[in-house]
Structure 1
Amino acid sequence: MKLFFNIFALFCILVAVNGDCGVVSKQQWDGLNPVHVEYLARPVDLVIIQHTVTRTCSTDASCAEIVRNIQENHMDNLNMWDIGSSFIIGGNGKVYEGAGWLHVGAHTYGYNRKSYGITFIGNYNNDTPTQASLDAVKALLRCGVERGHLTANYHVVGHRQLIATQSPGRKLYNEIRRWPNWLEDVSSLKN
Protein backbone atom coordinates (compact mmCIF):
# COMPACT_ATOMS: atom_id res chain seq x y z
CA MET A 1 0.00 0.00 0.00
CA LYS A 2 2.88 2.36 0.80
CA LEU A 3 4.32 1.76 -2.67
CA PHE A 4 0.98 2.74 -4.23
CA PHE A 5 0.91 6.04 -2.33
CA ASN A 6 4.54 6.80 -3.26
CA ILE A 7 3.82 6.15 -6.94
CA PHE A 8 0.64 8.26 -6.75
CA ALA A 9 2.54 11.13 -5.06
CA LEU A 10 5.24 10.99 -7.75
CA PHE A 11 2.56 11.06 -10.46
CA CYS A 12 0.95 14.13 -8.86
CA ILE A 13 4.29 15.93 -8.71
CA LEU A 14 5.02 15.16 -12.38
CA VAL A 15 1.57 16.38 -13.44
CA ALA A 16 2.04 19.61 -11.47
CA VAL A 17 5.47 20.30 -12.98
CA ASN A 18 4.80 19.08 -16.51
CA GLY A 19 1.13 19.99 -16.66
CA ASP A 20 0.10 20.03 -20.25
CA CYS A 21 -1.93 23.29 -20.23
CA GLY A 22 -3.87 21.89 -23.19
CA VAL A 23 -0.71 21.62 -25.29
CA VAL A 24 -0.61 19.13 -28.19
CA SER A 25 2.37 16.96 -27.23
CA LYS A 26 5.20 16.00 -29.57
CA GLN A 27 3.89 12.46 -29.49
CA GLN A 28 0.46 13.68 -30.62
CA TRP A 29 1.83 15.74 -33.54
CA ASP A 30 4.29 12.94 -34.41
CA GLY A 31 7.40 14.95 -33.58
CA LEU A 32 10.92 13.66 -33.20
CA ASN A 33 12.55 13.37 -29.81
CA PRO A 34 15.26 15.97 -29.17
CA VAL A 35 18.86 14.92 -29.74
CA HIS A 36 19.90 16.68 -26.52
CA VAL A 37 18.20 18.88 -23.92
CA GLU A 38 19.26 21.67 -21.61
CA TYR A 39 16.97 22.44 -18.71
CA LEU A 40 15.56 25.93 -18.31
CA ALA A 41 15.80 27.68 -14.94
CA ARG A 42 12.24 28.56 -13.97
CA PRO A 43 10.19 30.59 -13.40
CA VAL A 44 10.89 32.69 -16.47
CA ASP A 45 9.83 36.33 -16.80
CA LEU A 46 10.13 36.86 -20.57
CA VAL A 47 7.93 35.67 -23.46
CA ILE A 48 9.04 36.40 -27.03
CA ILE A 49 6.37 36.30 -29.73
CA GLN A 50 7.41 35.28 -33.26
CA HIS A 51 5.94 34.03 -36.54
CA THR A 52 6.99 31.28 -38.93
CA VAL A 53 6.63 33.17 -42.24
CA THR A 54 4.94 30.08 -43.70
CA ARG A 55 1.42 29.51 -44.89
CA THR A 56 -1.20 29.54 -42.16
CA CYS A 57 -3.14 26.49 -41.04
CA SER A 58 -6.67 25.96 -39.81
CA THR A 59 -6.99 22.19 -39.38
CA ASP A 60 -5.29 19.84 -36.95
CA ALA A 61 -3.70 17.90 -39.82
CA SER A 62 -2.33 20.96 -41.66
CA CYS A 63 -0.98 22.58 -38.48
CA ALA A 64 0.74 19.36 -37.34
CA GLU A 65 2.28 18.97 -40.81
CA ILE A 66 3.75 22.48 -40.67
CA VAL A 67 5.13 21.89 -37.16
CA ARG A 68 6.75 18.62 -38.31
CA ASN A 69 8.27 20.39 -41.33
CA ILE A 70 9.69 23.14 -39.11
CA GLN A 71 11.18 20.59 -36.72
CA GLU A 72 12.73 18.60 -39.58
CA ASN A 73 14.25 21.78 -41.02
CA HIS A 74 15.64 22.84 -37.64
CA MET A 75 17.12 19.42 -36.87
CA ASP A 76 18.17 18.17 -40.32
CA ASN A 77 19.27 21.40 -42.04
CA LEU A 78 20.22 23.70 -39.16
CA ASN A 79 21.70 20.97 -36.91
CA MET A 80 19.63 22.05 -33.91
CA TRP A 81 18.82 19.67 -31.04
CA ASP A 82 15.08 20.09 -31.53
CA ILE A 83 12.52 22.50 -32.91
CA GLY A 84 13.63 25.95 -31.77
CA SER A 85 10.40 27.41 -30.37
CA SER A 86 9.08 26.62 -26.94
CA PHE A 87 5.53 26.47 -28.31
CA ILE A 88 3.98 26.82 -31.76
CA ILE A 89 0.48 28.23 -32.26
CA GLY A 90 -1.83 27.10 -35.05
CA GLY A 91 -4.66 29.06 -36.60
CA ASN A 92 -6.86 26.21 -35.38
CA GLY A 93 -6.43 27.51 -31.83
CA LYS A 94 -4.11 24.73 -30.70
CA VAL A 95 -0.75 25.04 -28.98
CA TYR A 96 1.92 22.59 -30.16
CA GLU A 97 4.77 21.50 -27.92
CA GLY A 98 8.20 22.61 -29.02
CA ALA A 99 11.01 22.74 -26.45
CA GLY A 100 8.17 23.15 -23.93
CA TRP A 101 8.18 24.54 -20.42
CA LEU A 102 11.20 22.63 -19.14
CA HIS A 103 13.85 22.90 -21.88
CA VAL A 104 15.89 25.75 -23.30
CA GLY A 105 14.72 26.56 -26.82
CA ALA A 106 16.66 27.97 -29.77
CA HIS A 107 14.38 30.80 -30.86
CA THR A 108 16.19 34.08 -30.13
CA TYR A 109 19.98 34.18 -29.99
CA GLY A 110 21.15 35.54 -26.63
CA TYR A 111 17.74 35.13 -24.94
CA ASN A 112 17.07 31.39 -25.08
CA ARG A 113 18.17 30.64 -21.51
CA LYS A 114 15.87 33.27 -20.00
CA SER A 115 12.70 33.18 -22.08
CA TYR A 116 9.99 31.20 -23.81
CA GLY A 117 9.64 31.62 -27.56
CA ILE A 118 6.04 31.36 -28.75
CA THR A 119 5.72 31.16 -32.52
CA PHE A 120 2.53 31.68 -34.53
CA ILE A 121 2.20 29.68 -37.75
CA GLY A 122 1.81 32.16 -40.64
CA ASN A 123 3.16 35.40 -42.00
CA TYR A 124 1.66 38.18 -39.91
CA ASN A 125 2.87 40.94 -42.17
CA ASN A 126 0.05 39.66 -44.41
CA ASP A 127 -2.15 37.39 -42.29
CA THR A 128 -4.36 38.38 -39.37
CA PRO A 129 -4.07 36.11 -36.32
CA THR A 130 -7.23 34.14 -35.62
CA GLN A 131 -9.09 34.83 -32.40
CA ALA A 132 -8.71 31.13 -31.58
CA SER A 133 -4.90 31.38 -31.80
CA LEU A 134 -4.81 34.53 -29.65
CA ASP A 135 -7.09 32.95 -27.05
CA ALA A 136 -4.91 29.81 -27.02
CA VAL A 137 -1.77 31.82 -26.25
CA LYS A 138 -3.47 33.79 -23.51
CA ALA A 139 -4.71 30.54 -21.91
CA LEU A 140 -1.19 29.05 -22.22
CA LEU A 141 0.35 32.08 -20.49
CA ARG A 142 -2.23 31.95 -17.66
CA CYS A 143 -1.52 28.26 -17.20
CA GLY A 144 2.24 28.93 -17.26
CA VAL A 145 1.84 31.35 -14.35
CA GLU A 146 -0.44 28.94 -12.45
CA ARG A 147 2.03 26.07 -12.88
CA GLY A 148 5.06 28.15 -11.86
CA HIS A 149 6.75 28.23 -15.27
CA LEU A 150 6.22 32.00 -15.67
CA THR A 151 6.45 34.70 -13.02
CA ALA A 152 3.20 36.55 -12.32
CA ASN A 153 4.79 39.76 -13.63
CA TYR A 154 6.27 38.27 -16.82
CA HIS A 155 6.82 40.48 -19.88
CA VAL A 156 5.74 39.93 -23.49
CA VAL A 157 7.86 41.33 -26.31
CA GLY A 158 7.97 40.99 -30.07
CA HIS A 159 10.92 39.18 -31.62
CA ARG A 160 11.76 42.35 -33.57
CA GLN A 161 12.43 44.26 -30.35
CA LEU A 162 15.43 42.06 -29.55
CA ILE A 163 17.03 41.24 -32.92
CA ALA A 164 16.93 42.60 -36.47
CA THR A 165 13.84 40.90 -37.92
CA GLN A 166 10.30 41.71 -39.01
CA SER A 167 8.99 38.94 -36.74
CA PRO A 168 6.27 38.66 -35.47
CA GLY A 169 4.91 40.64 -38.41
CA ARG A 170 3.07 43.97 -38.32
CA LYS A 171 -0.40 42.59 -37.62
CA LEU A 172 0.60 40.29 -34.78
CA TYR A 173 2.97 42.90 -33.33
CA ASN A 174 0.13 45.42 -33.28
CA GLU A 175 -2.02 42.89 -31.41
CA ILE A 176 0.48 41.95 -28.69
CA ARG A 177 1.25 45.60 -27.98
CA ARG A 178 -2.22 45.80 -26.39
CA TRP A 179 -1.65 42.88 -24.01
CA PRO A 180 -1.37 43.74 -20.29
CA ASN A 181 2.12 42.22 -19.90
CA TRP A 182 3.52 44.06 -22.93
CA LEU A 183 6.97 45.61 -22.41
CA GLU A 184 7.58 48.61 -24.69
CA ASP A 185 11.06 49.56 -23.48
CA VAL A 186 13.34 46.52 -23.77
CA SER A 187 16.57 48.36 -22.90
CA SER A 188 16.75 46.52 -19.58
CA LEU A 189 16.65 43.19 -21.47
CA LYS A 190 19.24 43.92 -24.12
CA ASN A 191 22.35 41.77 -24.03
Structure 2
Amino acid sequence: SIEISAPPEVDLAPIAPICSGTEFEVSVTYANRDLVESVMWDIGDLDSRTGFDPGVISYPAGVTGRKTIMVTASNQCGVAVDSQFVDILEPLVASARLDTMFGCLPNFVLQVTNESTGSEQNYRWTVTRDGAEIFTSEEKDPSFTFIELGAYQIELEVYNDVCSGAFWRDSIEISAPPEVDLAPIAPICSGTEFEV
Protein backbone atom coordinates (compact mmCIF):
# COMPACT_ATOMS: atom_id res chain seq x y z
CA SER A 1 0.00 0.00 0.00
CA ILE A 2 0.97 3.61 -0.37
CA GLU A 3 -0.18 6.72 1.46
CA ILE A 4 -0.68 9.90 -0.51
CA SER A 5 -0.53 13.11 1.54
CA ALA A 6 -0.33 16.82 0.74
CA PRO A 7 1.71 19.80 1.89
CA PRO A 8 0.32 21.64 4.91
CA GLU A 9 -1.54 24.93 4.63
CA VAL A 10 -1.44 27.61 7.31
CA ASP A 11 -3.03 31.05 7.59
CA LEU A 12 -2.06 33.54 10.29
CA ALA A 13 -4.67 36.27 10.80
CA PRO A 14 -3.67 39.95 10.99
CA ILE A 15 -2.67 41.10 14.49
CA ALA A 16 -4.09 44.32 15.90
CA PRO A 17 -1.67 46.89 17.37
CA ILE A 18 -0.99 46.60 21.10
CA CYS A 19 0.39 48.88 23.79
CA SER A 20 3.81 48.05 25.20
CA GLY A 21 3.60 45.58 28.08
CA THR A 22 0.24 44.16 26.92
CA GLU A 23 -0.26 40.42 26.40
CA PHE A 24 -1.81 39.20 23.16
CA GLU A 25 -2.65 36.02 21.28
CA VAL A 26 -2.71 35.18 17.59
CA SER A 27 -5.34 33.45 15.48
CA VAL A 28 -4.05 30.73 13.17
CA THR A 29 -5.90 28.33 10.84
CA TYR A 30 -4.61 25.05 9.43
CA ALA A 31 -6.60 24.02 6.35
CA ASN A 32 -5.45 20.39 6.72
CA ARG A 33 -4.43 20.20 10.35
CA ASP A 34 -4.44 16.38 10.42
CA LEU A 35 -1.64 16.37 7.84
CA VAL A 36 0.63 18.74 9.79
CA GLU A 37 3.53 16.94 11.43
CA SER A 38 5.34 19.86 13.08
CA VAL A 39 4.79 23.54 13.74
CA MET A 40 7.48 26.07 14.60
CA TRP A 41 6.88 29.65 15.71
CA ASP A 42 9.32 32.54 15.47
CA ILE A 43 8.10 35.22 17.86
CA GLY A 44 10.09 38.17 16.48
CA ASP A 45 12.92 39.31 18.78
CA LEU A 46 11.44 37.30 21.66
CA ASP A 47 11.64 33.50 21.39
CA SER A 48 10.81 30.36 19.39
CA ARG A 49 7.97 27.97 20.16
CA THR A 50 6.41 24.76 18.92
CA GLY A 51 2.83 23.52 18.69
CA PHE A 52 -0.28 24.47 16.80
CA ASP A 53 -0.94 27.48 19.07
CA PRO A 54 1.87 29.62 20.50
CA GLY A 55 -0.23 30.67 23.50
CA VAL A 56 -0.02 34.06 25.16
CA ILE A 57 2.67 36.36 23.81
CA SER A 58 4.06 39.11 26.01
CA TYR A 59 6.91 41.43 25.16
CA PRO A 60 8.59 43.12 28.14
CA ALA A 61 7.33 46.57 29.06
CA GLY A 62 9.32 49.20 27.21
CA VAL A 63 9.66 47.18 24.01
CA THR A 64 8.13 49.09 21.08
CA GLY A 65 8.13 48.96 17.31
CA ARG A 66 7.07 46.50 14.63
CA LYS A 67 7.69 42.81 15.32
CA THR A 68 7.14 39.90 12.92
CA ILE A 69 5.39 36.72 14.05
CA MET A 70 6.10 33.74 11.76
CA VAL A 71 4.62 30.24 11.75
CA THR A 72 6.06 27.30 9.81
CA ALA A 73 4.03 24.11 9.37
CA SER A 74 5.66 21.09 7.77
CA ASN A 75 5.24 17.45 6.85
CA GLN A 76 6.95 15.03 4.48
CA CYS A 77 5.28 16.69 1.48
CA GLY A 78 6.37 20.23 2.10
CA VAL A 79 6.46 23.35 4.21
CA ALA A 80 3.96 26.18 4.62
CA VAL A 81 4.98 29.54 6.06
CA ASP A 82 2.90 32.56 6.99
CA SER A 83 3.71 35.69 8.93
CA GLN A 84 2.10 38.84 10.29
CA PHE A 85 3.52 41.88 12.00
CA VAL A 86 2.38 43.41 15.25
CA ASP A 87 2.90 47.09 16.04
CA ILE A 88 3.80 47.65 19.70
CA LEU A 89 2.99 51.23 20.68
CA GLU A 90 4.77 53.35 23.27
CA PRO A 91 2.47 54.03 26.28
CA LEU A 92 1.05 57.53 26.55
CA VAL A 93 2.32 60.05 29.09
CA ALA A 94 0.56 63.43 29.20
CA SER A 95 2.72 66.45 29.95
CA ALA A 96 2.55 70.15 29.10
CA ARG A 97 3.94 73.51 30.14
CA LEU A 98 2.15 76.85 30.54
CA ASP A 99 4.18 79.92 29.64
CA THR A 100 2.92 81.54 32.87
CA MET A 101 0.70 80.80 35.87
CA PHE A 102 -0.69 84.34 36.08
CA GLY A 103 -2.12 86.72 33.51
CA CYS A 104 -3.76 90.12 33.31
CA LEU A 105 -6.72 91.41 31.34
CA PRO A 106 -7.63 92.63 28.85
CA ASN A 107 -7.50 89.70 26.41
CA PHE A 108 -4.67 87.72 27.98
CA VAL A 109 -3.29 85.05 25.62
CA LEU A 110 -1.90 81.89 27.24
CA GLN A 111 0.53 79.78 25.22
CA VAL A 112 0.72 76.07 26.00
CA THR A 113 3.61 73.77 25.06
CA ASN A 114 2.72 70.10 24.75
CA GLU A 115 5.48 67.78 26.02
CA SER A 116 3.54 64.51 25.94
CA THR A 117 5.17 61.25 24.87
CA GLY A 118 3.86 58.03 23.36
CA SER A 119 2.69 56.66 20.03
CA GLU A 120 -0.13 57.93 17.82
CA GLN A 121 -1.14 60.85 20.03
CA ASN A 122 -4.51 62.57 19.90
CA TYR A 123 -5.26 65.58 22.11
CA ARG A 124 -8.26 66.90 23.97
CA TRP A 125 -7.78 70.17 25.90
CA THR A 126 -10.41 71.49 28.29
CA VAL A 127 -10.34 74.81 30.15
CA THR A 128 -12.87 75.26 32.95
CA ARG A 129 -13.77 77.89 35.53
CA ASP A 130 -15.87 76.99 38.57
CA GLY A 131 -16.67 73.66 36.91
CA ALA A 132 -18.00 75.25 33.71
CA GLU A 133 -16.31 74.50 30.39
CA ILE A 134 -14.86 77.65 28.81
CA PHE A 135 -12.59 76.41 26.00
CA THR A 136 -11.80 73.14 24.21
CA SER A 137 -9.16 72.32 21.62
CA GLU A 138 -7.74 69.31 19.77
CA GLU A 139 -4.54 71.06 18.67
CA LYS A 140 -1.16 69.85 19.88
CA ASP A 141 0.01 73.27 21.15
CA PRO A 142 -3.04 75.50 21.55
CA SER A 143 -3.36 79.05 22.81
CA PHE A 144 -6.25 80.39 24.86
CA THR A 145 -7.46 83.99 25.13
CA PHE A 146 -8.99 84.98 28.46
CA ILE A 147 -11.40 87.91 28.65
CA GLU A 148 -12.72 87.46 32.20
CA LEU A 149 -11.21 87.39 35.67
CA GLY A 150 -10.95 84.15 37.59
CA ALA A 151 -9.08 80.94 38.37
CA TYR A 152 -9.05 78.55 35.42
CA GLN A 153 -8.25 74.84 35.38
CA ILE A 154 -6.52 73.44 32.29
CA GLU A 155 -6.69 69.73 31.49
CA LEU A 156 -5.01 67.76 28.71
CA GLU A 157 -6.08 64.24 27.75
CA VAL A 158 -3.77 62.31 25.43
CA TYR A 159 -5.33 59.24 23.83
CA ASN A 160 -5.31 56.77 20.95
CA ASP A 161 -7.29 53.67 19.99
CA VAL A 162 -4.88 51.22 21.63
CA CYS A 163 -3.23 52.48 24.81
CA SER A 164 -4.84 53.79 27.97
CA GLY A 165 -5.40 57.54 27.96
CA ALA A 166 -3.26 59.86 30.09
CA PHE A 167 -4.10 63.17 31.77
CA TRP A 168 -2.26 66.35 32.77
CA ARG A 169 -3.71 69.25 34.77
CA ASP A 170 -2.63 72.74 35.81
CA SER A 171 -4.21 76.12 36.53
CA ILE A 172 -3.84 79.83 35.83
CA GLU A 173 -5.09 82.93 37.62
CA ILE A 174 -6.37 85.81 35.48
CA SER A 175 -6.43 89.24 37.13
CA ALA A 176 -6.62 92.85 35.93
CA PRO A 177 -4.68 96.09 36.45
CA PRO A 178 -6.00 98.27 39.28
CA GLU A 179 -8.26 101.22 38.50
CA VAL A 180 -8.36 104.42 40.54
CA ASP A 181 -10.42 107.62 40.23
CA LEU A 182 -9.62 110.74 42.23
CA ALA A 183 -12.62 113.09 42.35
CA PRO A 184 -12.17 116.81 41.69
CA ILE A 185 -11.24 118.78 44.83
CA ALA A 186 -13.14 121.98 45.62
CA PRO A 187 -11.16 125.16 46.31
CA ILE A 188 -10.31 125.82 49.96
CA CYS A 189 -9.17 128.78 51.95
CA SER A 190 -5.55 128.86 53.06
CA GLY A 191 -5.05 127.06 56.36
CA THR A 192 -8.17 124.94 55.97
CA GLU A 193 -8.01 121.16 56.31
CA PHE A 194 -9.62 119.05 53.65
CA GLU A 195 -10.02 115.42 52.57
CA VAL A 196 -10.08 113.86 49.14
TM-score, structure 1 as length reference: 0.19
Tell me which structure has the larger Cα radius of gyration: 2
| Larger RCO, structure (CA 8 Å, separation 6 or more) | 1
Higher share in strand = 2
Q: Which has the higher helix share?
A: 1
Tell me the TM-score normalized by structure 2: 0.19
